[in-house]
Amino acid sequence: MTGIITDFKRFAVHDGDGIRTTVFLKGCPLRCLWCHNPESLIRRPQLAYLTEKCIDCGACVAACPKGAHQFGENGHTLDRTRCDGCGDCAAVCTAKALKFYGREMTVDEVMAVVLEDRIFYGTNGGMTLSGGEPTAQAEFTLALLEAAGKAGINTALDTCGDAPQPLFAALAPHVDCFLYDIKHIDSDRHRALTGRPNDRILENYRFLAGTGAQIEVRIPLIPGCNDDTATLDGIGAFLNAAPPRRVKLLPYHSYADGKYAALDLAPPGAALTFPDAAQMALAADRLRRHGLNVVVG
Amino acid sequence: MLEELKKDLSFLKNKYHDTAAPFDPFFRMAYHGWPGDASTGFDDAEMEAGLKEYIAALPDTAHVIIKAKAFAYILDHMRIGIDEHDYFPLLYNWNRPLRPLLVEPWRLSREKSKESAHYLWKYSKSGDIAIWLDYDHSVPDWHALYALGFPGILARARQYRAEREAAAPLTVDQTAYFDGIEITYEAILRLIARLRDYAAGCSFPKAAEIAACLDRLTLGAPETMYEQLMLIFLYWFISESIDVFQVRSLGSGLDHDLFPFYTRDLESGRYTAEQLDAFIGYFLMQFSAIGNYWGQPLYLGGSHRDGSCKVNAVSYRILDVYDTLGIYNPKIQIKYGKNTPDRFLETILDMIRRGHSSFVFICEETARRTLLDRGVPPERAWDFDVKGCYEYAIRAGEFSAAPFYLNLLGPLVRALNETGDDADYAAIEARFYANLDTLFRGGIEVCNEIESVLREVNPSNMLSATITTSLARARDAYHDGAECNTTVILTSGFGTTVDALMALKKLVFEEKHCTLGELKQILAENWSDAALRVRALNLPQKFGCGDGEADACAKKLSDFILSYQGTPNSRGGYYKIEMHSARHYIVFGAKTPATPDGRLAGEETSKNASPVQGMDRNGVTGTIRSALAIEPWRYWEGFGLDLMLHETAAKGDEGLAALLGLLRAYDAAGGSSVQFNIFDAETLRDAQQHPDQYQNLQVRICGWNALWRDMPKAEQDKFIERAENLL
Ligand code: SF4
Ligand code: SF4
């Protein structure tokens, strides 16, 4: 069995407890305005091109079976319409101007990467599956979690929660900690901001909390989208019914602009603003009123 | 009393230098900030002239006697002072100008061994080896000094002399040995008495306390923590600046050493906790104010014989005072292991991420393993000293000269030039190892010659008197009177050499992007093919990425280097290897032409066991995995690893936990020394633009700290470049 992998992050220290290796799986049902992993949204492989790194060596032109790379008066250009995502050009681009997202890998191949850093995991670190949305590659995710369990590696699953409940029931025994995103409490607003309603997400949260699963709830804080008192109180009250072990409030940032540009995509959240430290502290306090353990990440 | 210390800080900071004036840290070795009391002794010119005349009039005798007498002359005539803002005295004269009068290494070594001198010159010029007459790194037997004091050390030496004399008449050498010690310690006691009397004549509030402390030291062993700190300071200052022996650790585990005195002072009510904190502060400030660029080490932590941890209340007090003062010299080494409390390590890691980069962590178990590996008996190996940057030695039993730096890239550059354009990779590699072998053998031969006269170059009168094996044998402790007198070879450019070998193999022989002849031509033209250079730089086979192929190449090179360990030296000991480049990654780099890994001519090479700057592409875990692949526990003298982290990886509770996790993992896997630099590139760039706003920004370079504002722009750029790749 294979899965489509966007990338790996070693020495990941903010994706669950301890030192971890995060595996990013490609493809996600949501389209959040603030998404900072645009290379993870679609399942299909994607080619990122960092113009400023290109040294006009021409290697990609020779490597591409589709003629997507060309050399004209202005040097090297990429015609994305011709690209079918085989990845051959990125492999020969020594300047690292081309980066290929979407490698097809087996469970063993992924586990080999994860196990390389095993000595750093200690008692609570390990593997985090993130995305994209890991549950969108359900079978592969389950197989990875099982393999990690067999190897004695702690597992965390970073999820948007938008998947069928039986799948969560199947995954739960293999997950040491869920990193569970709650983006908005109002379903219509949720749909406006992410493209999907939140009913199933909230329902799955209740379900998982009911199984006694370890959950860290993550709330990306985006001024004007979900930082108003009513929204925070709504989330707070919802979580108060089945409190997670902690709530992590994540400030929205614009670090992904470069990634959107490299993929020739327009950042959908270009008009969004970033919260400052005071806004973060205020929001955290608001949530704490609901008896939650809140940290700012 | 900490309030008092804060008020005295501006005096302390300027005690030895005008810290507001521009200065070059590499020449910050003349201790002439505060002139002292002119009526108490000579200025520089008077001292130099007087000493020359004095030495010229001495009868021709053993150098050990001449040195001891010259030492006594300086102590008797040196300008001194006590100030109302300080609990430690001022000793005006520093040895640099006087040094040639006390030790004459080059003349001596040339006379004794003309041929060696010739090779020495030849090698040093080649840029492959730097042989440097290092005759002065020591840690005395601090425990003997605390127990006996200066008078007791002198009395004990006299007793050893009397016992030997009773058995048989002393030889000329033995007489000179004991005379040297007696002249030296008598002079030290006269100086302390002179300081005491001077303090007794002052009327400001601290004077009486200072006088009483010094009086105690003229009589015997220290009884309070302040007296103990005074003893350490005086021994350190006199040894470093007059006796020409660097003291490479303040105490043998300062927290553990101070603890009994600290608790006694508190229990007896002699001093309050605040007063004791202040003494620690005044003490630490002495070294900060002197500010030698190589840093003054002290270490904390470690284990008791029963396996329990030595960390105690004083460990935390030292850290707290150090943190409050915000200084980076002394530099502090932390002996740690499984038994070291999380809280202690977290306290330090938190200081590091707030900008105190002057800490090095030393895995205690690995260090001990190296001692056992070289045959040190377990009862001597359990409680070793950490000294210098991150070296280990038998406590009060081992003195290492470190005369020999080796540029690993030199033999590779020559191997490329010496083989024909039709050579295959195996032939070039074989040539490289043959060249390396020639350098090791040649260097060892020269060092053996030079070290055979070490005792005459710089007799260690102060040090020898503290070492019982030296006294029992009547042999100079530094030369061959200790349990173990070892010699260190320091290797530089390890990572660059591995990367260069891998690039050569990939570019020319496996991926065939160019021929050997073409590559040589391109290198001769300092990488005239820019695209090929990018290819070389971006190859995945780099040391420090945890890449299997590069790590295997590294292991082979490391095994080869280590095969010279244990070679006998000329002082009854043997050679040890240290994976440490000190400043030679710059010095050698400047002399090394372009290399196949993409490095340009003259650029710095990699330092210590670290990857080439910016080539740690798989982050810290990759760097550590590569370091472990070459087995740090086999490097008998030490093994330095520098980790650079982006500040986002270190922030919050999770960041702290991750740093601790790295330390724990490195220790459990057999790591050795590790130090952290935690930055974001933006801060560094801003610091480059506005140096005045970042007066205290420090970065850790190869075993010591540098102030950002003092670093040359090219070095700053390298750091920024690396920080940029961290996200
Ligand atoms: S291979 Fe890379 S560097 Fe070369 S032309 Fe293509 S994109 Fe540019
Ligand atoms: S990914 Fe494949 S098809 Fe697309 S540009 Fe590269 S080589 Fe051509």
Amino acid at B444: I
Res. B267: pLDDT tops 80: yes
The domain containing residue A77 runs over which residues?
A: 46-100
> Interhelix angle for B254-268 vs B142-167, to 10°?
100
Q: Note the pLDDT tens digit of each residue in B45-84.
A: 898 899 999 988 998 888 899 999 999 999 999 999 999 9
DSSP notation for B392-424: EE-TTTEEEEEEEEEETHHHHHHHHHHS-TT--
Ligand showing the shortest atom-to-Cα distance for residue A61: 1
Angstrom CA distances, B25 to B19, B21, B143, B685, stand at: 11, 12, 33, 22
Q: Which residue has the higher pLDDT, B453 or B546?
A: B546
To test the contact with chain A by mutation, choose from B535, B626, B656 the residue with the greatest count of A C-beta atoms within 10 A, namely: B535
- Token pair 């939140």 in the structure block, residue: A198
Cis peptide before A132 (omega within 30 of 0): yes
Q: B162 exposed, middle or buried (CB, 10 Å; 0-12, 13-18, 19+)? A: exposed
Among the listed residues B549, B552, B429, the one whose alpha carbon sits nearest the alpha carbon of residue B437? B429
Closest to B661 (Cβ–Cβ): which among A94, A116, A120? A120
Same domain? A203 vs A111: yes
> Interhelix angle for B342-353 vs B652-668, to 10°?
120
Q: Note the pLDDT tens digit of each residue in B91-144.
A: 886 656 677 777 765 555 556 666 666 666 677 777 888 877 667 789 999 999
- Token pair 């840029």 in the structure block, residue: B127
Res. B703: pLDDT tops 70: no
Residue ranges around ligand 2 (CB below 6 Å): A 47, 63-64, 66, 68-69, 83-89
Closest to B618 (Cβ–Cβ): which among A10, A18, A57? A10
pLDDT at residue A68, as a whole number: 95
pLDDT at residue B295, as a whole number: 87
Res. B716: pLDDT tops 60: yes
Res. B551: pLDDT tops 60: yes
User: Residue A95: phi, psi to the nearest 5?
Assistant: -80, -5
Same domain? A91 vs A132: no
Same domain? A73 vs A214: no
- Token pair 């007791």 in the structure block, residue: B152
Q: Answer whether A55 touches B (CB < 8 Å).
A: yes
Same domain? A40 vs A52: no
Closest to B654 (Cβ–Cβ): which among A10, A14, A57? A14
Contacts of B625 in chain A (CB under 8 A): 116-117, 119
A119 Cα to chain B: minimum distance (Å): 6
**Band (B681; pLDDT cuts 50, 70, 90):** confident
Q: What is the mean pLDDT of residues B349-365?
A: 92
Please give the residue of chain B at the shortest CA–CA distance from A17.
Answer: B654
Ligand showing the shortest atom-to-Cα distance for residue A89: 2
- Token pair 């990845």 in the structure block, residue: A87
How big is chain A, counted in residues?
297
Q: What is the mean pLDDT of residues B359-379?
A: 96
Q: What is the mean pLDDT of residues B261-265?
A: 98
Amino acid at A202: L
Report the 10 Å Cβ neighbour count for B408: 26
Q: Between chains, do A13 and B649 touch, taking CB under 8 Å as contact?
A: yes
Q: Between chains, do A18 and B669 touch, taking CB under 8 Å as contact?
A: no
Tokens of B193: 């008495």
Report the 10 Å Cβ neighbour count for A155: 23
- What angle is formed at CA A128 by the lines to CA A122 and CA A131, rounded to 5 degrees? 160
Same domain? A244 vs A189: yes
pLDDT at residue B127, as a whole number: 81
Q: B112 exposed, middle or buried (CB, 10 Å; 0-12, 13-18, 19+)? A: middle
Q: Note the pLDDT tens digit of each residue in B202-228.
A: 999 999 999 999 999 999 999 999 999
Same domain? A268 vs A177: yes
Contacts of B618 in chain A (CB under 8 A): 10
> Interhelix angle for B142-167 vs B205-219, to 10°?
30
**Closest residue by CA, ligand 1 atom 4:** A57
Res. B692: pLDDT tops 80: no
Tokens of B531: 């695209």
Closest to A117 (Cβ–Cβ): which among B621, B653, B664? B621
Angstrom CA distances, A105 to A6, A148, A191, B721, stand at: 10, 15, 32, 33
Same domain? A72 vs A187: no
B463-485 burial, b at 16+ Cβ within 10 Å, e below that, comes to bbbbbbbbbebbbbbbbbbbbbb
Q: Between chains, do B668 and A119 touch, taking CB under 8 Å as contact?
A: yes
Angstrom CA distances, B338 to B47, B562, B609, B634, B660, stand at: 53, 28, 23, 20, 12
pLDDT at residue B314, as a whole number: 98
Same domain? A223 vs A264: yes
- Nearest ligand 2 atom to alpha carbon A45: 1
Q: In total, how many domains does chain A have?
A: 2
The full 3-state SS of B456-517, as one line of letters, equals: HHCCCHHHHCCCHHHHHHCCCHHHHHCCEEEEEEEEECHHHHHHHHHHHHHHHHHCCCCCHH
Boundary (domain end) residue, out of A75, A100, A125: A100
Closest to A120 (Cβ–Cβ): which among B539, B648, B665? B665
B596 Cα to chain A: minimum distance (Å): 15
Q: Check if the beta carbon of residue A116 is closer than 8 Å to that of residue B618.
A: no
Same domain? A108 vs A23: yes
Same domain? A88 vs A136: no
What's the gap in Å between B698 CA and the centre of ligand 1? 39
Q: B695 exposed, middle or buried (CB, 10 Å; 0-12, 13-18, 19+)? A: exposed
Percent of chain B with pLDDT over 70: 90
Angstrom CA distances, B83 to B91, B202, B279, B288, stand at: 12, 9, 15, 18
**Band (B258; pLDDT cuts 50, 70, 90):** very high
Instruction: Give the mutation target among A44, A84, A98, A264 for probing the ligand 2 site: most ligand atoms within 8 A of CB.
Output: A84
We report the CATH number of the domain holding residue A12 as 3.20.20.70
Boundary (domain end) residue, out of A100, A135, A169: A100
Same domain? A143 vs A161: yes
A11 Cα to chain B: minimum distance (Å): 7
Cis peptide before A223 (omega within 30 of 0): no
Boundary (domain end) residue, out of A68, A85, A100: A100
Angstrom CA distances, B203 to B41, B83, B198, B211, stand at: 21, 10, 10, 11
CA B138 to chain centre: 10
User: Does residue A147 line the site of ligand 1, with CB under 6 A?
Assistant: no
Q: Check if the beta carbon of residue A36 is closer than 8 Å to that of residue A253.
A: yes
pLDDT at residue B727, as a whole number: 45
We report the CATH number of the domain holding residue A94 as 3.30.70.20
Q: Note the pLDDT tens digit of each residue in B433-471.
A: 999 999 999 889 888 888 888 887 889 999 999 999 999
pLDDT at residue B129, as a whole number: 85
Same domain? A39 vs A51: no
Q: What average pLDDT does chain B have?
A: 90
Q: Answer whether A241 touches B (CB < 8 Å).
A: no
pLDDT at residue A57, as a whole number: 85
Which residues of chain A have a pLDDT value below 50?
none
Contacts of A95 in chain B (CB under 8 A): 534, 538
Q: Per DSSP, what are the bridge partners of residue B300?
A: B334
Q: Check if the beta carbon of residue A246 is closer than 8 Å to that of residue A287.
A: no
A8 Cα to chain B: minimum distance (Å): 10
Res. B694: pLDDT tops 80: no
Please give the residue of chain A at the shortest CA–CA distance from B540.
Answer: A94
